[in-house]
A and B are shown apart, each in its own frame.
Chain A
Amino acid sequence: MTDPLALFWITCVFVIMLMIAGLYCIFVTYNLIRVLIGLELLIKAVTLLLVVAGYANNHLARSQAFVITLIVMEVIFIAVAAGIVIGLYYHNQSLDVRKLRNLKG
């Protein structure tokens, strides 16, 4: 059995990388659906962090309970966001994020 804290730190590095990937996706893409995929990657990173935190301090049952709740929240969140994206598509006839600059100032 390796030191749980060491594993925790290594996973943390991957979590950070995953978050950067997700944020990069949100920043760079011009496609609304890809923005949602970026958000999904962020949430995956957080899930991973929760699981490994539970593993490191040996509170596995509790961390699993958190993850289950989190997954339920996440699904609804993404479904609602997808609904809004579809609504935007029907208004703009495109998924281009550059058309989302009507409100400013």
Chain B
Amino acid sequence: MIVEIIILSVLMLAALWTVMTRSILRSAIGLAFVSVMLTYIMFRLSSPIAAVFELSVCTGLISVVFISTITLTFPLSKEEVLQHMKERLSRFWYLPLILILVGLAFSLAQVKLNLTLPPPEVEQDVRNVLWKLRPFDLAGQVIMLLTGVYGVLILFRQVRKK
């Protein structure tokens, strides 16, 4: 339990850094780090296959998407960044305060969850679950990938035309 809390806290700090850092590139890297910590906690919660997916797709692919977007859009110059810095600080520095307050409030609250949990599942193999029990989700994934292909085709080709 303690280990999980520590990992979650690190994850939280990484998220905080992601939100508050000045450079957008560093922000994207912070997001990747959040992903890594999420992967680790998934391993701890005995979900290895999902963890592998998270590591490969989110940490890898999404970072690539963000970084390529950032390079395609030439963000503000350094001077402008410095100019905005003070303004940014005044807008952003409430966040840690809020987070600490919310975290404390919820941790100290005595919540009775009184939930009746279902009996544990018989099928423990992810592949079987996906293929046999949830084929509709798989079909959905295929359609979503097709959608993504058209999305990239349409949205990014426009940019090329310009």
**Residues of A participating in the B interface, judged by any CB pair closer than 8 Å:** 2, 5-14, 16-18, 20-22, 24-25, 28, 30-31, 33-34, 36-38, 40-41, 44, 47-48, 51-52, 54-65, 67-69, 71-76, 78-80, 82-87, 89-90, 95
Contact = CB atoms under 8 A, between A and B. Distances in A.
A73 B141 CA distance: 7
Task: Give the interface size class of chain B.
Answer: 35 or more
Interface of B: 1, 4-5, 8, 11-12, 15-16, 18-19, 24, 27-28, 31, 34-35, 38, 41-42, 45-47, 49-50, 53-54, 57-58, 61-62, 65-66, 69-70, 72-73, 75, 84, 91-92, 94-95, 98-99, 102-103, 106-107, 111, 113, 115, 117-118, 120-121, 123-126, 128-130, 133-134, 137, 140-141, 144-145, 147-148, 151-152, 154-156, 158-159, 162
A46 B56 CA distance: 18
